[in-house]
A = this chain, B = another copy of it.
Amino acid sequence: MTTRDRRRRVTIADVANHAQVSTTAVSKVIRNAYGVSPAMRDRVKAAIDELGYRPHAAARAMRGRTFTIGVMLPHIRNPFFADILDGLNAQLDDTGYQAIMIQGGATQKAEAPAIDALVDRQVDGILMISPLAPRARLEAVGREIPTVVLGRHERSAVYDAVFDDDEAGAELVVNHLIGLGHRRIAHITHQDNSTARPSDLLHIIRAETYERVMREHDLAAEIAIATTYYTEEGGYDGAQQLLARSRRPTAIFAGADQAAFGALAAVHEAGLAVPGDISIAGYDNTRLAALPNIAITSIDQDGAVMGHTAARLLLERIEGRTSAVRFSVTPSLVPRRSTAAPPPQDG
């Protein structure tokens, strides 16, 4: 049996022909719509199976739903996003919805077309993970398509927010380090070119909380921030900057595990021991942070719960909910071997 190149797809009309009913009837069966008898349903379903029919998503997009959830994430390299995705996909399983992902990148300029791409592809719902776009843009998207924003704290009437209580998390870290006896605690934060309101962005919240807690403990003079990126390279560069200071810190709080990994590398390279000379703490409690060789103290925010909640909220919105919801997870400290009391002479 030679297959002819690019044979035509099986369409709803083929199914209708084969089952000797109207295309309308077939469409109704597919959508579980009202107005089909059980007999009709069985008949059409049989025809669908026989012909191996699958709805053409692009055609559906013209009139109805695409059964697609679009996920915009900055970059797939961050393993924390994998946790979120797992939660999302688990919740979407068996709903008929499929999640597609698109990378937004590190700049607003790169992110904008990625968001457009999802909108243009007519997804039924959008999950934006730590977007850089200004709030007005998110609201514009949210007005057009059900939207959930993950990782930003702002209130909006048109989209839902899922986030971690970053203030509580950062507080946990800094208090943990101070409790161990550290005074010269430095912070590595993330540089963005976002035009969002700073207080809505998680890295700003973490950094500001760090500063606030330091001040509250009369450590304002010890505040030291390296502004690089929440990436391995960023953590590496940031730690190098901090280590080069005349008053070397005894502890580094990296705003994300990824950055903490890089910081770890830089500290080692400088010939210093962790936690003997310098303590290091991260954020996100990614699985790698738990590896015995790394064993970085971190903040756990349940990514799976965040992802699964985001999916649930999206489905609710698709079903018609219009009120806005904010969902926040409470972080917890996971102490590991990377943090300990500072060396005696520095205490």
Complex interface residues of chain A between 195 and 253 (CB less than 8 A to chain B)? 232
Taking a contact as CB atoms under 8 Å apart, the answer to whether A77 and B66 are in contact is no
Any chain B CB within 8 A of the CB of A316? no
Taking a contact as CB atoms under 8 Å apart, the answer to whether B143 and A68 are in contact is no
When C-beta atoms are compared, the residue in chain B nearest to A294 turns out to be B293
Q: Mark A263-307, 1 if CB is under 8 A from B, else 0.
A: 011001100000000000000000110111110000000000000
When C-beta atoms are compared, the residue in chain B nearest to A231 turns out to be B287
Any chain B CB within 8 A of the CB of A103? yes
Complex interface residues of chain A between 94 and 149 (CB less than 8 A to chain B)? 98-103, 113-114, 116-117, 120-122, 143-144
**Given A98-B113, A121-B121, list of 4 further CB < 8 A pairs?**
A5-B143, A58-B122, A76-B81, A293-B294
Taking a contact as CB atoms under 8 Å apart, the answer to whether B293 and A264 are in contact is yes
Any chain B CB within 8 A of the CB of A30? no
21 contacts between A and B (CB under 8 A): A7-B143, A9-B144, A54-B120, A55-B120, A56-B120, A56-B122, A57-B121, A57-B122, A58-B66, A58-B122, A66-B121, A68-B121, A75-B82, A76-B101, A89-B103, A98-B114, A100-B100, A100-B102, A264-B293, A265-B291, A265-B293
> Among A81, A232, A290, A291, which residue has the most Cβ atoms of chain B within 10 A?
A291
> Among A57, A66, A116, which residue has the most Cβ atoms of chain B within 10 A?
A57
Instruction: Report Cα–Cα, A9/B119, bound state, in Å.
Output: 10
Any chain B CB within 8 A of the CB of A31? no
Copies of this chain, count: 2
> Among A54, A82, A120, A269, which residue has the most Cβ atoms of chain B within 10 A?
A120
Please indicate the chain B residues that have their CB under 8 angstroms from the CB of A181 in the complex: none
Taking a contact as CB atoms under 8 Å apart, the answer to whether A143 and B3 are in contact is yes
Any chain B CB within 8 A of the CB of A163? no
When C-beta atoms are compared, the residue in chain B nearest to A5 turns out to be B143
Instruction: Report Cα–Cα, A68/B122, bound state, in Å.
Output: 13
Task: Tell me which of B82, B98, B269, B290 contacts A117 (CB under 8 A).
Answer: B98
Instruction: Report Cα–Cα, A209/B114, bound state, in Å.
Output: 42
Please indicate the chain B residues that have their CB under 8 angstroms from the CB of A66 in the complex: 58, 121
Any chain B CB within 8 A of the CB of A79? yes
Instruction: Report Cα–Cα, A193/B161, bound state, in Å.
Output: 39
Please indicate the chain B residues that have their CB under 8 angstroms from the CB of A99 in the complex: 102-103
Instruction: Report Cα–Cα, A237/B98, bound state, in Å.
Output: 31
* Known contacts A57-B121, A114-B98, A121-B57; is-contact A261 B143 (Cβ 8 Å): no
* Known contacts A57-B120, A98-B102; is-contact A291 B261 (Cβ 8 Å): yes
